Amino acid sequence: MKTKPHLTTERQKMLNGDYYNAFEDNLIKDRKKAQKLCQKLNALPNGSQQKRLKILKQLLHADQGVWIESPFRCDYGYNITLGKNFYANFGCVILDCNLVKIGNNVKLGPNVQIYTATHPINPEARMLGKEMAYPITIGDNVWIGGSSIILPGVTIGHNSVIGAGSIVTKNVPKNVVVVGNPCRIIKAIE
């Protein structure tokens, strides 16, 4: 008896951290849906808490007390989970080609960028349009300073602070302050 070959969708490959084709029809459709919801969110005036939360709940997995200032952009939305009392200042971008899990009481300064997506170093693979994505996890009570960038595959531990303008290339333990490019631990939080 022959078994059917296991078929893996581009979305499954994306979430597995394998090479995937970002220009596959279903992924394009999902990105367009997220773009429309981001446009609706960004068009709302400040102070429209209930309307904003309604759109955010259509776009991503949001708990209570979530506030995202406009403009906000993401790739898919459905790969983002936000804990309670989340706040993102103006200009936040989350490239959620893989899972982005953000804990409770997390604050993002203006222009924070969170990138799960990456491309091969090999130029031939890049020219073929291959992409990969790796999950990002941000623990509870984290504060990420303005214009910081969180790179693919990073985990940030509970209670840590990322200084403004930092590039986070590696995991950050809990209870530390990190700054720089690439960021380094400058002190423990007691």
Averaged over 98-125, what is the pLDDT?
Answer: 96
Torsion of CA 81, 83, 85, 89, to 10 degrees: -30
pLDDT of amino acid 72? 97
Question: Which residues carry out catalysis?
Answer: 119
pLDDT of amino acid 189? 95
Over 80: is that where the pLDDT of 3 sits? no
From the list 3, 11, 12, the residue with the least C-alpha distance to 27 is 11
pLDDT bucket at 129, cuts 50 / 70 / 90: confident
Rounded to whole angstroms, the Cα distance separating 37 from 112 reads 20
The answer to whether 135 and 150 have CB atoms below 8 angstroms apart is no
* Alpha-carbon 114 to chain mean position: 4
The answer to whether 75 and 100 have CB atoms below 8 angstroms apart is no
Over 80: is that where the pLDDT of 128 sits? yes
Rounded to whole angstroms, the Cα distance separating 123 from 125 reads 5
Any idea what DSSP says for residue 37? H
Torsion of CA 145, 148, 152, 154, to 10 degrees: -30
Residue 31 neighbours by CB distance under 10 Å: 17
Sheet (strand 80-82) strand order: 61-62, 80-82, 100-102, 136-138, 155-156
pLDDT of amino acid 136? 98
**pLDDT tens figures, 61-70:** 997 789 999 9
Give percent of the chain with pLDDT exceeding 90.
86
Enumerate the domain spans of the chain.
Answer: 10-188
pLDDT of amino acid 7? 56
**pLDDT tens figures, 10-48:** 999 999 999 999 999 999 999 999 999 999 999 998 777
**pLDDT tens figures, 135-179:** 999 999 999 999 999 999 999 999 999 999 999 999 999 999 999
Domain 10-188 fold is: UDP N-Acetylglucosamine Acyltransferase; domain 1 (2.160.10)
pLDDT of amino acid 50? 87
Peptide bond into 71 cis (omega under 30): yes
Give percent of the chain with pLDDT exceeding 70.
96
Average pLDDT, the chain: 94
